[in-house]
Amino acid sequence: MPYLVASIIAVVSAMIILLTRYESDDSSIRIELDRMKSMIFVVDGFVDTYIQSGGDLSEINFEKLYDDGILSENMEKNDPTEDSDNVKGDGLESKLTFPESDVTWQLIPNVDDNTSYKILVDMTGDSTLKSRAGFVESFLGKEYCQKALFGKFFPKGKTYNDDEEDKETFEEDGNEKDGLFVCIIYK
């Protein structure tokens, strides 16, 4: 009899587990991905406005867009500290943070090719995006950087080197789950 009761309990427990298995709530990540999509297209729109107003892509950065009055007034252009591990170099230090967002954007000119620009996206401040950084980096890079904007995606891009010899290139010293990625977008 104890064997029969234990078997029934085990079967009932297994059925409860199968019928009520845990499904993670991915609505928060979907919301954040939609916000990131909007931000990517807004940044590209700023660049389009800059080009249409006669701007030169070899000089573009958020500092220049801010000074030219292209950035929306509710957006904040930040100057990073001296020891920032991302972009370094004259006039390239400006970062942009959208309202109610912890994602930091850096817009960098592509000096070798004035038909494109570079974006470094830093999602490390957003806990929702950082929790699934590998998926988010891959999804955003492939869906929006490559497919929608016809650019190149560098999932391991992390730091920017402005030495004379390297001609301002990104170092691929990150990994695909660090919350940082680079896009080069062609116009």
Say if 74 falls within a structural domain: yes
Element (H, E) at 105: strand 104-109
Q: Which pLDDT score, from 0 to 100, does residue 75 have?
A: 67
4 located within any domain: no
Range of the domain at 112: 26-186
Beta strands across the sheet bearing 104-109: 76-78, 95-97, 104-109, 116-122, 180-186, 152-154
Residue 162's pLDDT is 56
CB crowding 63-75: b at 16 or more within 10 Å, else e = bbbbeeebbeeeb
Q: Kindly state whether residue 63 falls inside one of the protein's structural domains.
A: yes
pLDDT of residue 106: 85
Q: Is residue 12 part of a domain?
A: no
Whether 13 is in a domain gets the answer no
Query: Using CA atoms in the order 93, 94, 95, 97, what is the torsion angle rounded to 10 degrees?
Result: 160
Contact 37, 144 (CB under 8 A): yes
The tens-digit pLDDT sequence of the chain (187 residues) is 777 777 788 777 777 776 665 555 567 788 888 899 999 999 999 999 999 998 888 888 888 888 888 887 766 666 555 444 554 444 456 788 888 888 888 888 877 778 888 888 888 888 888 888 788 888 888 888 888 888 888 776 666 665 554 445 666 666 667 788 888 898 8
Q: How many domains does the chain have?
A: 1
Q: Is residue 166 part of a domain?
A: yes
Judge whether 82 lies within some domain: yes
Decide if 167 is inside a domain. Answer: yes
